[in-house]
Structure 1
Amino acid sequence: MELKDLKGKRALVTGGTKGIGKAIADELAAAGATVIVSARTKPDETTHHFIAADLTNSDQVTALANEIENTFGGIDILINNVGGLTTPGGGHSTLTDAHWHQELDLNLIAAIRLDRILLPQMIEQKSGVIIHISSVAGKQALWNLNMAYAVSKAALNSYSKALATELADKGVRVLTVSPGATRTEPMVKFLNDYAASAGITPEEGMKQLMAQTGGIPMGRMAEPEEVAQLVHFLVSPSAAYLTGTIYAIDGGSLPVVS
């Protein structure tokens, strides 16, 4: 029997049409929530209410918020999942101002922009949960692969903590989930491209990348559904006393205590 602990809740999952975002959307819907998903383009099929939006465009964020308000009267759960590694590796000399702005806009400012426009309704109803999907890269940057991305995720972690502190006495909880290597289409493409550029197999490429980070003690990547299950718990009533914390889901790969 599925746990319907989110019955009556309205949830928005950005980037909710594939990968981790889709897994989260499906998980929350299975728990009883009414789920809205957004992405730049509409998928071939989805069982959730879809709203097209480019969250790096402030006008489209406003239109998204207006449609949610007019159709659903607001939301109770916001999953800021939009993001990604879009800039080249190679270190500081390969990254232009445009690269830095692009990565920060997608991985940090998009979440800030959406939080700002949806928070007044959450504060007014004195309840709500915001989850920022970050990355273990925010605590373990690889200069030759993901410098700008890692910096943007570290900034998201800091912003999320500050926002959680601001909203703690207003009934709104804010948490951060930081996946490690997860078996998604973008991750598979990244591994294939990395392997091709190095003239090695994807399996060898994975081993090389994991060697830079100390490996994954559990010996495999996460499945998107495993990340979704963690998110489900964090937005549920069972996690009512949790706010301001970063939860790594990485198979034990982060070689740090925190």
Structure 2
Amino acid sequence: MVNYLHSLRQRRRKRVTETHAPGRDQRVAVIGLGRFGYSLANELMRRGWDVLGIDTDPRLVQKYSDHLTHAAVADCTDPEALRQLGVHEFTSAVVAIGTDIEASILVSSNLLEAEVPNIWAKAISRQHGQILERLGVTHVVLPEHDMGERVAHLVTGRMLDFIEFDDDYALVKTVAPDIATGIPLGQSQVRSKYGVTVVGIKRPGEDFTYATAETVVQKGDVIVVTGKTHAVETFAELS
């Protein structure tokens, strides 16, 4: 089993390296048409992508067939079903299966075996996500956990928005604290004192603009700040 997983990851890395540049193929297979899967498929279509929606439930496929580019009833835990639908020819696929962890893992494994270069998979727990990562899935999404964490930051602090990335790095939108106002950013020493960088600024009634060392933040301005998660959290709480 360990050798199989290693071989699968090696082949996947090779295929990703050989893949054409992004944007050449705007086809994507979305496997699982629950709330998450359909919402994702609908947004992808709005952005001009050609979406193949797949689910084992004929009622869901019938319900969304008029809203998707293509829709099919199939059990993608069977690799032959994927082959017949031509998913192996796609460069992108999303495993949006909800509570059936076994099906999620089997479908992801089949997509990896078919050497689909870009695979996103929904996980319902950190353990589920770790299993998918060990298989070789490089894009693992925990929507409920990520959204819960994001909302918690908004509820408990002064942040207007919060997005956390990998490697303990985050981007925050917040009302500018007093320590950052009244003087040019280059003189405020925000970066050296607090370990954050102000990258954008919005004044009431105006659009966001890039911040520079010469930018003078005024009281009431909304700013976008980046840096280590703890640093931007601390900065956003300053009065």
TM-score bucket (shorter structure): 0.3 to 0.5
Highest RCO, 1 vs 2 (Cα 8 Å, sep ≥ 6) = 1
Larger Rg, first or second structure (1 or 2):
2
TM-score (norm 2): 0.45
- Higher helix content, 1 or 2: 1
TM-score (norm 1): 0.43
